[in-house]
């Protein structure tokens, strides 16, 4: 078994053109964002063993497994309200009557990994037993006895100060350590912190786990998506291999989003390198939503094996740069990928809009070069971009995702001398363009 090394937010690599690479909890699992399913958004507490198996089977038959979705995760409400006489967690004896070991075996037999939910306090958010003061025991039950592979760990029912005598980091350290103790004897576990309370989790989450929720629960509507995108636009540097901001589950196909909004949702989550956990009733999912979820060109960037960085805004657009606006987040984004520079344009307006940018506004683009343009939604090569790019008539709340690849020097003699005028200077010292 691979030895666990708690590296934390370390390993800052800067090779001139390389981005800053943040590395999280490297215990051999979750190097890339988790792709999978979570029961909460579609079902809340209405879950049972058959639903989980049906969901796993649907993930296969719908082609989601083949596209890379790997985890089938149970959220809250799977437990009995009381622990056993010896203090163990007990799975609901009616809804999980065949037992959790049986369930994880079936999930594994279908080729998936299995996730479970717990809480760092006295109770889960729906009032089931939390793991505070039972961390070692629960880790053993969930991962050694029952065979789960992944833990989502929530933030409800925090003990009084004179009991916990820990800050928010120490509270999560307890389970992180318990999981660490299982590394050698059982297996490495994916640890997903659901620390949505104000705690600056993006500063310390990577020292303890593989992902961390940064915002409250997502809703199936544009205002919810816009506010999550806005918040996370300011903390993109926290994401790297083995550790990343978690923007919450995918709300595609739950009603409340237009098709264009659903594409924007998936694009933003994937390119910001969030875990992608489907939160939709798969029995009722429509082909257009499956098509979004299986966009292999966008999934490939989410799972990039060479470049873990999130995209980040290079221009806010309708708002001045660095404006925090829950309704109108940043519109112009880019980031590095192993195959070129990826761009995301978001039309945050409620009406169609044209969007325009100079390529060198993105730090990942070389001046004086031309770029081939791949559209990651139409799956077409759209010619060559020189200096700038305009996208006309983007639908309200619509998205464009492009991959630009260096295609050599631009033609000679292009005017102006610098696409972006700032500090544009002739060799003799003449400042060109006036700024």
| 75 among known catalytic residues | no
User: d(Cα 200, Cα 169) in Å, to the nearest integer?
Assistant: 10
Q: Counting contacts by CB under 6 A, is residue 217 touching ligand GAL?
A: yes
Q: Which of the ranges 120-128, 176-184, 334-342, 377-385 carries the binding residues for ligand GAL, by CB under 6 A?
A: 120-128
Report the residue number, 126 or 349, with the smaller CB distance to ligand GAL.
Answer: 126
The continuous run of DSSP H or E covering 266 comes out as helix 259-271
Closest to 244 measured CA to CA, from 21, 41, 73: 21
Distance CA 297, CA 225 (A): 22
125 near ligand GAL, judged by CB under 6 A: yes
Lay out the site mask for ligand GAL across 78-117 (x = CB under 6 A, - = otherwise). Answer: ---------------------------------------x
Nearer to ligand GAL (CB atom), residue 217 or residue 375: 217
Cβ proximity to ligand GAL: between 126 and 407 the closer is 126
Contact 344/268 with Cβ under 8 angstroms? yes
User: Reduced to 3 states, what is the DSSP secondary structure of residue 47?
Assistant: coil
β strands within 252-398, DSSP E = 276-278, 312-315, 332-337, 340-346, 353-358, 369-375, 380-386, 388-394
Whether the CB-CB separation of 198 and 204 falls below 8 Å is answered with no
Q: Which of residues 220-259 bind ligand GAL (CB under 6 A)?
A: none
Instruction: Pick one of 69, 196, 212, 343: the residue that binds ligand GAL (CB under 6 A).
Output: 196
Listed ranges 122-130, 182-190, 372-380, 419-427: which one lies at the site for ligand GAL (CB under 6 A) = 122-130
Rounded to whole angstroms, the Cα distance separating 239 from 193 reads: 14
CB under 6 A: which stretch of 87-95, 118-126, 157-165, 175-183 binds ligand GAL?
118-126
The active-site residue out of 92, 119, 138, 154 is 154
DSSP string for residues in 74-87: --S--B-SS--TTS
* Cα separation, 268 vs 366, whole angstroms: 24
Q: How far is the CA of 248 from the CAs of 17, 21, 268, 270, 356, in angstroms?
A: 31, 23, 12, 12, 30
Under the criterion CB under 6 A, does residue 76 sit at the interface with ligand GAL? yes
Among 30, 47, 194, 359, binds ligand GAL (CB under 6 A): 194
Query: Least separation, in Å, of the C-beta of 182 and ligand GAL?
Result: 22
Interacting residues with ligand GAL between 150 and 169 (CB under 6 A): 154, 156
| Burial of 281: CB neighbours in 10 Å, binned 0-12, 13-18, 19+ | middle
Distance of closest approach, residue 208 Cβ to ligand GAL, in angstroms: 18
**Residue 126 within binding range of ligand GAL, rule CB under 6 A:** yes
Binding span for ligand GAL by CB under 6 A among 82-90, 121-129, 390-398, 404-412: 121-129
CB of residue 130 to ligand GAL, shortest distance in Å: 11
Distance CA 409, CA 369 (A): 4
CA distances 411 to 45, 201, 343, 371, Å, are 61, 47, 23, 12
Does residue 40 belong to the site contacting ligand GAL (CB under 6 A)? yes
217 labelled catalytic: yes
405, 371 Cβ separation under 8 angstroms? yes
State which residue, 138 or 154, has the beta carbon closest to ligand GAL: 154
Radius of gyration of the chain (CA): 23
**Residue 129 φ then ψ, to 5°:** -60, 130
The catalytically annotated residue of 133, 145, 217, 375 is 217
- Which CB sits closer to ligand GAL, 77 or 344? 77
C-beta of 212 vs 357, nearer to ligand GAL = 212
Q: How far is the CB of 193 from ligand GAL (least distance, A)?
A: 11
Q: How many residues bind ligand GAL (CB under 6 A)?
A: 12
- Residue span binding ligand GAL (CB under 6 A) among the ranges 119-127, 253-261, 316-324, 391-399: 119-127
Active site residues: 154, 217
Residues that bind ligand GAL (CB under 6 A): 40, 75-76, 117, 124-126, 154, 156, 194, 196, 217
């Amino acid at each position: 078994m691979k030895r666990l090394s708690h590296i934390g937010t370390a390993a800052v690599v800067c090779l001139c053109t390389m981005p800053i690479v943040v590395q999280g909890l490297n215990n051999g699992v979750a190097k890339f964002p988790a792709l999978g399913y979570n029961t909460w958004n579609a079902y809340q507490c209405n879950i049972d063993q058959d639903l989980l198996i049906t969901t796993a089977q649907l993930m296969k038959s719908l082609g989601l497994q083949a596209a890379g979705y790997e985890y089938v995760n149970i959220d809250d409400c799977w437990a009995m309200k009381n622990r056993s006489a010896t203090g163990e967690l007990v799975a609901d004896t009616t809804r999980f009557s065949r037992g959790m070991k049986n369930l994880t075996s079936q999930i594994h037999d279908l080729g998936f990994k299995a996730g479970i939910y717990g809480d760092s306090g006295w109770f889960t958010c729906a009032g089931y037993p939390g793991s505070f003061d039972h961390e070692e025991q629960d880790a053993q039950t969930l991962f050694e006895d029952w065979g789960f592979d992944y833990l989502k760990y929530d933030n409800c029912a925090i003990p009084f100060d004179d009991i916990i005598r820990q800050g928010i980091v120490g509270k999560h350290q307890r389970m992180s350590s318990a999981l660490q103790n299982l590394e050698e004897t059982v297996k490495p576990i994916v640890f997903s912190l659901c620390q949505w309370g104000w705690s600056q989790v993006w500063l310390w989450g990577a020292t303890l786990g593989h992902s961390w929720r940064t915002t409250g629960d997502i809703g199936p509507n544009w205002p919810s998506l816009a506010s999550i995108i806005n918040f996370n636009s300011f903390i993109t540097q926290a994401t790297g291999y083995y550790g990343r901001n978690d923007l919450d589950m995918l709300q595609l196909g739950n009603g409340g989003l237009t098709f264009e909004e659903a594409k924007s949702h998936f694009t933003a989550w994937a390119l910001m390198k969030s875990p992608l956990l489907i939160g939709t009733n798969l029995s009722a999912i429509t082909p257009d939503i499956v098509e979004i979820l299986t966009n292999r060109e966008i999934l490939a960037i989410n799972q990039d094996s060479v470049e873990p960085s999130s995209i980040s805004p290079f221009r806010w657009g309708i708002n001045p740069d660095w404006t925090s606006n829950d309704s109108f987040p940043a519109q112009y984004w880019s980031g590095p990928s192993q195959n070129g520079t990826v761009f995301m344009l978001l039309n945050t307006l409620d009406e169609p809009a044209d969007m325009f940018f100079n390529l060198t506004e993105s730090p990942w683009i070389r001046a004086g070069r031309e770029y081939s343009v791949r559209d990651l939604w139409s799956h077409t090569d759209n010619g060559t971009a020189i200096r700038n790019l305009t996208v006309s008539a983007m639908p309200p709340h619509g998205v464009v995702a492009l991959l630009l690849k260096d295609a050599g020097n631009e033609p000679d003699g292009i005017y102006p001398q610098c696409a972006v005028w700032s500090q544009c200077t002739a060799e003799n010292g003449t400042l060109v363009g006036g700024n």
